[in-house]
Structure 1
Amino acid sequence: MTRWLTEAVPRGRVAAFRTLIYLFVAADLVVFTPWVRTRVSVPGDLYQPLLIGRLLPLPTPTATLVAVIFWSLLALALLAATGRAPRLLGWAVCALYLEWMIIAMSYGKVDHDRFGLLIALAVLPTAGRARHGDTTRTEAGGWALRVTQIAVICTYFLAAFAKLRFGGLDWLTGSVLARAIIRRGTDLADLIAQVPYLLIVAQFGIVAFELLSPTVFFLPPRWRLAMVGFFYSFHVVTIATITISFAPHLAAMTSFLPLERVRPLIWARRLVGRSPTAPTSTPPDQPPVDARAEASPLGDQVPAVGRPAGP
């Protein structure tokens, strides 16, 4: 079990995952959860902190507190994405983002799609230093990625458990998806809803897929990637039908992918190196030189350039 939990991975994979996660945190602040800043306009009596917020305890959000968290977290996440000071910046980002989420989720709604991301932020500081493109393997980095993977799969499995715990078998045969389509469905969802019993079949399929998600750990690497691809396709369909993105979960799920193969900076340098400037041309009065070597009658390779002219 210990060997599986600490299976070594290339340091380049850890570096790429770290950069992606911290860039997502910065994007989350300005794209996905900027509404958290509006919580300061809500009366403090409506602030009902989560259990962790009651245990610490954390203060009721104020305009100053939220502004300090927002700008500090944005700056530190961008710095952490560079890979510098991984422990210091990593722990700072983890603490600030946790408080950001406590503020966001303490007004009556808790999103389960952020569990994997929070775990990733908690374990990345333990992975140590890692550079993009480094092929040396690290068990500490492997442990960080494995724990994130477990959190991602727990998100699926525990979601199915919650469905059956609170909704019972009625969740499978009820109108859950129908209500979701009425509230926030797209034109594609409206077409799907017209097919008799298809939504019921989809509900059975969702619960089955979530309950079987742990099998991803028992598959060979190629099939594991195929199953992760299925996970992503499931969320593509979810976005296309009921406009729920699960973006934080999708970011954490990249822990399954061989991210060390994704080298955008290297690709960009190669593209820049292939400049469209034309190669040096030969003088107008000289015919173009054939770059291929020509064989002499004796079998020697005599380059075309410099071969004496003659009959």
Structure 2
Amino acid sequence: MSGWLTEAVPRGRVAAFRTLVYLFVAADLVVFTPWVRTRVDVPGELYHPLLIGRLLPLPTPTPALVGAIFWALLVLALLAATGRAPRLLGWTVFALYFEWMIVAMSYGKVDHDRVGLLVALAALPTAGRARHGDPTRTEAGGWALRVTQIAVICTYFLAAWAKFRFGGLDWATGSVLARAIIRRGTDLADLIAQVPHLLIVAQFGILAFELLSPAVFVLPARWRLATVGFFYSFHLVTVATITISFAPHLVAMTSFLPLEKVRPVVWARQLLARRGRPAAPDDASPSTALTGPEPAVGPATP
């Protein structure tokens, strides 16, 4: 079991995952959760912190506190994305983002799509230094990716457990998707909803997919990647029909992917090098391009 938890991976994969995660944290502040800053405009008595917020305990958010968290987290996340000071910056970003999420989720609504991202932020500082493109394998980095993968799959499996806990089989046979389409459905969802019984079949399919999701860990590598591709396609359909993105969950799920093969900086350099290289004449053979044209041969003399 310990060998599976710490299965070594290339350091380049850890570096790519780290950069992606920290860049998403910065984007999350300004794109996905900027509304957190408006939470402090409501009366303080409406703030009911999550259990962890009560145990620590954490202060009631104020405009100064939330503003300080926002700017510090934005700057430090961008710095952490460079891979410098992975432990110092990593732990600091995790602590600040954790508090950002407590503020976000302590006013009556708790999202479950950020579990994997929070686990990734907690685990990445333990992976140590990692450089993009480095093929050297690391068990510490493998552990960080593995616990993130476990959190991603737990998000699916525990979602199914919650459905059975609160709705039982009525969740599968009820009108869950129909209500979602009425509230926030797209034109594509309206077309799908017209197919008889398709929404009920889809609800059974969602339950089956969530309950069987842990099987991804026992599949061969090729099938594992295909299964992760199916997970992404499921969320693509979700966005296209009921406009729920699960963006932080999708970022955490890249822990399954061979990210070390995706090297945009190297590709950009190669593209610039090709554009800056002068092209050889079309009618020049390799020999003439190097030595120049052969001298003309005049008519033979008697």
Provide the TM-score with structure 1 as the length reference. Answer: 0.92
- Distance in 1 of aligned mates of 2:286 and 2:159: 65
- Distance in 2 of aligned mates of 1:48 and 1:242: 29
Structure 2's unaligned 5+ residue stretches are: none
**Cα-to-partner distance string for 1:167-190 (whole Å, 9 max, x where unaligned):** 111001000000000000000001
Superposition deviation, residue 279 in structure 1: 3.5
- Distance in 1 of aligned mates of 2:146 and 2:230: 19
**Cα-to-partner distance string for 1:191-213 (whole Å, 9 max, x where unaligned):** 11111110000000000000000
Alignment of 1:94-243 (within 5 A): 94-243=94-243
Amino acid at match of 2:101: M
CA contact (8 A) 1:153 1:213 kept: yes
Amino acid at match of 2:152: V
**Cα-to-partner distance string for 1:5-57 (whole Å, 9 max, x where unaligned):** 00000000000000000000000000000000000101101000000000000
Q: Go from structure 1 to structure 2 and tell me whether the alpha carbon gap of 1:44 and 1:272 turns closer, same or farther (over 3 Å shift).
A: same
Corresponding residue number in structure 1 for 2:286: 291
Superposition deviation, residue 291 in structure 1: 2.1
Task: Give the alignment's Cα RMSD to 1 decimal.
Answer: 1.8
CA contact (8 A) 1:291 1:304 kept: no
Provide the TM-score with structure 2 as the length reference. Answer: 0.95
Aligned pair count? 297
- Distance in 1 of aligned mates of 2:222 and 2:279: 43
**Cα-to-partner distance string for 1:59-112 (whole Å, 9 max, x where unaligned):** 000000000000000000000000000000000000000000000000000000
**Percent of residue pairs bearing the same amino acid type:** 80
Alignment of 1:50-89 (within 5 A): 50-89=50-89
- Distance in 1 of aligned mates of 2:277 and 2:145: 44
- Distance in 2 of aligned mates of 1:234 and 1:34: 26
Amino acid at match of 2:234: F
**Cα-to-partner distance string for 1:251-273 (whole Å, 9 max, x where unaligned):** 00000000000000000001100
**What is the SS of the residue equivalent to 1:130?**
coil
- Distance in 1 of aligned mates of 2:82 and 2:292: 51
**What is the SS of the residue equivalent to 1:274?**
helix
Structure exhibiting the larger radius of gyration computed from Cα positions = 1
Structure 1's unaligned 5+ residue stretches are: 283-287, 294-302
- Distance in 2 of aligned mates of 1:170 and 1:102: 32
Amino acid at match of 2:233: S
Amino acid at match of 2:255: S
Amino acid at match of 2:208: A
* Counterpart check, 1:275 vs 2:275: yes
- Distance in 2 of aligned mates of 1:281 and 1:209: 58
- Distance in 1 of aligned mates of 2:217 and 2:226: 12
Superposition deviation, residue 275 in structure 1: 1.6
- Distance in 1 of aligned mates of 2:258 and 2:51: 36
Corresponding residue number in structure 2 for 1:297: none
**What is the SS of the residue equivalent to 2:131?**
coil
- Distance in 2 of aligned mates of 1:229 and 1:95: 31
Corresponding residue number in structure 1 for 2:14: 14
